[in-house]
């Protein structure tokens, strides 16, 4: 299967993702956010979580805060 065939097959889904602000690079942070949610459920403090995730995923603390903020944002009703 070619890249074109995959994109053509998934065009509607991709268009919906784009309409809510999705960027392909967001995929690399799904695991980071999953770790954040797990640590939050365990009662860890935000500052500790951010410092740990920053070190683990080799991104700045500011980037971790931005990822958390972005992934917490609700999707618009028309996009889902």
Q: DSSP labels for 52-66?
A: HHHHHHT--HHHHHH
Spatial distance between the Cα atoms of 10 and 74, rounded to a whole number of angstroms: 22
How does pLDDT run along the chain (80 residues), one tens digit per residue?
899 999 999 999 988 888 888 888 889 999 999 999 999 999 999 999 999 999 999 999 999 999 999 999 887 655 44
Spatial distance between the Cα atoms of 48 and 26, rounded to a whole number of angstroms: 23
Q: How far is CA 73 from the centre of its chain?
A: 10
Report helix, strand or coil for 73: coil
In sequence order, the 6+-apart residues with CB closer than 8 A to the CB of 70 are 21, 26
């Amino acid at each position: 299967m070619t890249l074109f065939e995959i994109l053509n097959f998934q065009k509607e889904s991709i268009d919906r993702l784009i309409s809510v602000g999705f960027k392909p690079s967001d995929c690399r942070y799904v695991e980071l956010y999953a770790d954040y949610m797990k640590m939050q459920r365990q009662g860890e403090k935000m500052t500790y979580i951010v410092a740990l995730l920053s070190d683990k995923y080799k991104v700045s603390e500011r980037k971790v805060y931005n990822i958390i903020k972005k992934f917490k944002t609700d999707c618009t009703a028309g996009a889902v």
